[in-house]
Amino acid sequence: MKNKKRDLLSIAVYICISYALMFAFGPLVYVTDGDVDFGAYQIVFVLAAFSPCIACLVTRALFREGFKGLLYPKFTGNPKAYLLSVVLPLAYGIINCILITVSTGAGFSFKLDGGIYTALGNNMLMSVYSYYVMIVIIGEELGWRAFLCDKLEKCFGLNASVVIGGIIWGLWHIPPIMHMGLNFGMDYPGYPYLGIALMCVMCTGFGAVMQLVRKMSDSVIAPIIAHALVDSVCNSLATMFLAEEMITDMAGGKKFIIGICTTVSALIVGIPCWVMLNKRYMDKSLPLEGKVSDEVV
Amino acid sequence: MSGFILKDLYIIRKRLVLNTVFCLAMMILLDIIAALIRKEIPAEDVNVLPVAAAVTAAAFFFIIFYSVECDILFTDERRKWNAYSAASEAGVKAVVGAKYTLCFILSFLCYLICRLNDIILSLIFDRTLQLSVFYLGLVFSVSFLMAFQLFFGIRFGARYGTNIRIALFVGVIVLGSVYALFGDVDWVMREGGARDSMRYLLEHMDDAGVKEYMAKIAGGAVSLICLIPHCIVALYYISYRLSCGAYTRGTENYEK
């Protein structure tokens, strides 16, 4: 019981720090017109984008939990987990691609100027970009997966940790949703509340994927790879079949439709992962009280 | 494996700390010089100055860290120790994997120092300066070199690996010097030549410039360029697997 209180307190401290940093510095970094050419931009960016990582490190230091093995890769014996960390985002990317193409009525043909070579070039460029994104994503995953989800699972159990973790992760995105129209744009009914709600749903779906690869590999590196691929390659895959003017002109709620497709794709990939997560790890991840009562019985 | 990484780190710690401090000192010095000459240079060169400072510092840091990475090969030179470590529960994979992992960690540390330099230069020149793509290119270049050097070092001994590196460097420098002295360097010096191209490159080396350049060139060419980092990652892994296989035979070349 004492441990649970301590864990709940550490979760509260973690959320306060990560949200405070994101809400304070996020509006300066995430702007619509992309005009971020000022000297302190990178410091502000690190404080906002790495806020979950900073919160994790500070909370661990405050509660004397140590930092051992935080970024340890554990490649040996876990090839399936690392394979899934690549395959699952790609599956999401392809589903997303199909949904966007069908819902926008683009049809399956390479519409970018330059045809298949341009489309291939764009995606290859994004695949290289994912190495850089991985470094940025360390800032998120070190907080969400290596700290929050583990703690939530200890306190509330596996399923609740996926849902609560997804909502907390989704709400953390409020500044970019409000200031730069992240994923859903700014031109839709119910802005920004609907976007925030959909973001929470999307993060719950992705959360299940990330938590599955995290638990399978017993390392935070696998979710970092998966997250980086989602943010780079998978999001550009969808543009392969869209006409150039459709990609550049996102006015009239087009971005919102694409955002909904992204949310649905995240759920389509996330739900089977959630089921798999339950099958594999449900017995081992009862909340602290549950474990105690089981032992007593 | 973490134990072997710590062991290697412990052996090279003095050199690593000294080099890191030296790099940080050099970074501060270069940034101070850049800040001081900022007002002295023509207005059209002001945009090039922070990029040039960042590129010079990055090249310098990566060379220094590359030399530290080369030292990792010298941490295990005794045949008896290698026989012991190979027979331990962790096995050959952990011993060899530790060296490859540590090399990557050091390159990453160098990347972080370069990014820190970007932040300082951004503050001095009051503009966003990001050369992360260029730094990643350097990380991949060092990994490419280390993939060969680690394999040759493990298979034939650290000294043999070092000899190959020195021979390569000396060869390149001698050939370059001979060409610079006796060859036709008009293509470098003339207007619109390599010197001007270098200037253009410096002006467009930040992340936005690279993105712009990639958007300009054809899709097929981009695909080929973008394949290089993936190939280096694959090469690094293949080198690791080959080194695991060659470890036991390689230790026969070591001292007793």
Q: How far apart are CA B110 and CA A297, in angstroms?
A: 55
Closest CA in chain B for residue A39? B126
* Percent of chain A whose pLDDT exceeds 90: 43
Nearest to A40 among B123, B136, B218 (CB): B123
Whether the CB-CB separation of B137 and B149 falls below 8 Å is answered with no
Contact B227 A122 (CB under 8 A): no
B128: nearest CB among A38, A73, A124: A38
Residues A243-293 pLDDT 10s: 665 666 666 677 888 889 999 999 999 999 999 999 888 766 555 444 444
* Range in A87-96, A190-199, A238-247, B28-37 with the lowest mean pLDDT: A238-247
Rg (CA), chain B: 21
Lowest mean pLDDT across A139-148, B28-37, B163-172: B163-172
Per-residue pLDDT reduced to its tens digit, B82-129: 778 778 777 888 888 889 999 999 999 999 999 999 999 888 888 888
Q: How many CB pairs under 8 A join A and B?
A: 71
**Across A40-54, A108-122, A199-213, B120-134, which has the greatest mean pLDDT?**
A199-213
Nearest C-alpha of chain B: how many angstroms from A134?
12
Helical spans, DSSP H, in chain A: 2-29, 41-49, 51-62, 79-103, 115-143, 150-156, 158-172, 174-180, 193-217, 221-229, 235-237, 244-248, 254-281, 288-296
> Do B219 and A132 lie within an 8 Å CB cutoff?
no
| Confidence at residue A243, expressed as pLDDT on a 0 to 100 scale | 62
pLDDT computed for residue A225 by the predictor: 92
Chain B CB contacts of A127 under 8 Å are: 226, 230
**What 8-state DSSP symbol labels residue A189?**
T
Q: CA B69, CA B23: separation in Å to the nearest integer?
A: 15
What does the alpha-carbon distance between residue A110 and residue A119 come to, in Å, rounded to a whole number?
7
Mean pLDDT, rounded, for A91-108:
82
Domain parsing of chain A, residue ranges? 71-296
Whether A216 and A80 have beta carbons less than 8 Å apart is answered as yes
What Å distances lie between residue A13 and A46, A63, A154, A171, B21, CA to CA?
A: 20, 10, 16, 16, 35
The pLDDT, as a whole number, for residue A130 is 84
Residue A39 touches chain B, beta carbons under 8 Å: yes
Task: Work out the pLDDT band at A123, boundaries 50, 70, 90.
Answer: confident
Listed by start position, the domains of chain B span 2-253
Task: Pick A288 or A59 by higher pLDDT.
Answer: A59
Contact A170, A201 (CB under 8 A): yes
pLDDT at A295 over 60: no
Q: Lowest mean pLDDT: which of B65-69, B82-86, B122-126, B239-243?
A: B82-86
The answer to whether B222 contacts A76, with C-beta atoms less than 8 Å apart, is no
Mean per-residue pLDDT, B131-135: 87
Chain A residues touching B102 at Cβ < 8 A: none
Cis check: omega of the bond before A192, within 30 degrees of 0: yes
| pTM of the predicted structure, to 2 decimals | 0.83
Q: Residue A275 corresponds to which tokens in the numbers above?
A: 């089921």
pLDDT on residue A218: 87
Q: What is the pLDDT of residue A294?
A: 43
**Helices marked H in A144-192:** 150-156, 158-172, 174-180
Q: Please name the residue that has the structure tokens 């990014």.
A: B115
Residues of chain A positioned with their CB less than 8 A from the CB of B111? 135
Q: Does A124 touch chain B (CB under 8 A)?
A: yes
| Cβ distance of B128 and A39 shorter than 8 Å | yes
Weakest mean pLDDT among A10-24, A95-109, A171-185, B133-147: A95-109
Residue A42 to residue B222, Cβ atoms within 8 A: no
| Residue B117 to residue A165: CA distance in whole angstroms | 35
What is the mean predicted confidence (pLDDT) over B191-215?
69
Inter-chain touch A120–B223, beta carbons under 8 Å:
yes
DSSP B64-132: HHHHHHHHGGGG--BHHHHHHHHHSSSHHHHHHHHHHHHHHHHHHHHHHHHHHHHHHHHHHHTS----H
Rg (CA), chain A: 20
More confident residue, B215 or A208: A208
Could you tell me the maximum CA-CA distance found in chain A, to the nearest angstrom?
A: 68
Q: What is the pLDDT of residue A290?
A: 45
* Lowest pLDDT segment from A57-61, B58-62, B118-122, B157-161: B157-161
Q: What is the pLDDT of residue A17?
A: 95
- Indicate if ipTM > 0.90: no
Which residues in A lie closer than 8 A to residue B231 (C-beta atoms)? none
**Residue A114, pLDDT score:** 64
Q: Which helix (H) or strand (E) holds B228?
A: helix B219-250
Residue B152 has pLDDT above 50, yes or no: yes
User: CA torsion sign, B151 to B155 to B159 to B160?
Assistant: negative
B208 band by pLDDT with thresholds 50, 70 and 90: confident
Buried b (16+ CB within 10 A) or exposed e, B210-241: beeebeeeebeebbeebeebeebeeebeebbe
Q: What is the pLDDT of residue A288?
A: 47
Residues A222-250: tens digit of each pLDDT? 999 999 999 887 777 776 666 665 666 66
Say whether pLDDT at A32 is over 70: no
